[in-house]
Structure 1
Amino acid sequence: MATKPSVLFVCIHNAGRSQMAAGYLNHLAGDDVEVRSAGSAPVDSVNPNVIEAMLEEGIDLRSQKPKVLTTEAVQLSDVVITMGCGDVCPFFPGKRYLDWQLNDPAGQGIDAIRPIRDEIRQRIEGLIAELKSGIAI
């Protein structure tokens, strides 16, 4: 890759799916990818059961705070991955948009969150392979 690609993960509350995805991409890709996450209606804190599920994977989200989705975050990203946030994400030509249909971990216990977490990891591993091959941007 000639330049470092950037990825933005967007969900409604920025407390579950997008936080897990950003955590995995940071963990698995390291400094090779710039990672952002945001929510269309962010809440005050990351879901504690999501934090627990990610700690099981060796990824600590305890210092993460949900952030509001901004036009600037979308503009600065090469790939925008939405996760159940509908049409609230601004559209800019030249960006790659993906919509990952994933169950929402909100209100779920740890046993229900683990399969969501595992599916996100699989998707992140595929995304990293695409980014490394130059397919995604």
Structure 2
Amino acid sequence: MSTTIPTIVFACRANGGRSVASRLLTEHYAQGRVVALSAGTEPGEQIHPEVAAVLEQLGLDTSRERPTLLTAEMIAASDLVITQGCGENCPYVPGATYRDWPLDDPKGRSDAEVRAIIADIDARVRALLAELAPDLVLPLNVT
């Protein structure tokens, strides 16, 4: 990682659930110490309503979230790419650092299932931030 503020791209297929939750949780906890982006290989038209509902209940604003296409340029400009089910469609950029987070897709799931997936993402984001910014004091988790 660079000594400047690291940029992380969270990538999934539709950019309507997992990657959005990851980005919002990262921004919530990072307090400006990390730039978080989210994108998808096949972006949908909107954030999955069941994911937006749970995130809003947790106090995270989803009103500005719009599915975005993942590009090679976005990956090249980042310090880290976290893949979350984008599979073989995720652009490969030589020299980019990739990590895969195998997460269930929350689309169409019950409230309890979406909450469990977001709790898993929350734990992963907190661990990642502890690695990237070890002196960052993380607030209590939202989940």
TM-score by length of 1: 0.92
Percent of residue pairs bearing the same amino acid type:
38
Q: Secondary structure at the match of 1:98?
A: strand
Q: Secondary structure at the match of 1:87?
A: helix
Name the Cα RMSD after superposition. 1.5
Shift of 1:56: 2.1
Q: Distance in 2 between matches of 1:92 and 1:21?
A: 21
Structure 2 counterpart of 1:50, one-letter code: V
- Specify the alignment match of 2:66 in structure 1: 65
Structure 1 counterpart of 2:117, one-letter code: I
Shift of 1:94: 3.0
**Is it true that 1:46 corresponds to 2:47 in the alignment?**
yes
TM-score by length of 2: 0.88
Shift of 1:58: 1.1
Shift of 1:39: 0.4
Which runs of structure 1 show a deviation greater than 6 angstroms over 4 or more consecutive aligned residues?
A: none
Structure 2 counterpart of 1:97, one-letter code: Y
- Specify the alignment match of 1:36 in structure 2: 37
Gaps of at least 5 residues in structure 1 are none
What do residues 4-45 of structure 1 show as CA deviations (whole Å, max 9, x unaligned)?
000000000000000000000011102111111100000000
- Specify the alignment match of 2:9 in structure 1: 8
Gaps of at least 5 residues in structure 2 are 135-143
Q: Distance in 1 between matches of 2:100 and 2:88?
A: 11
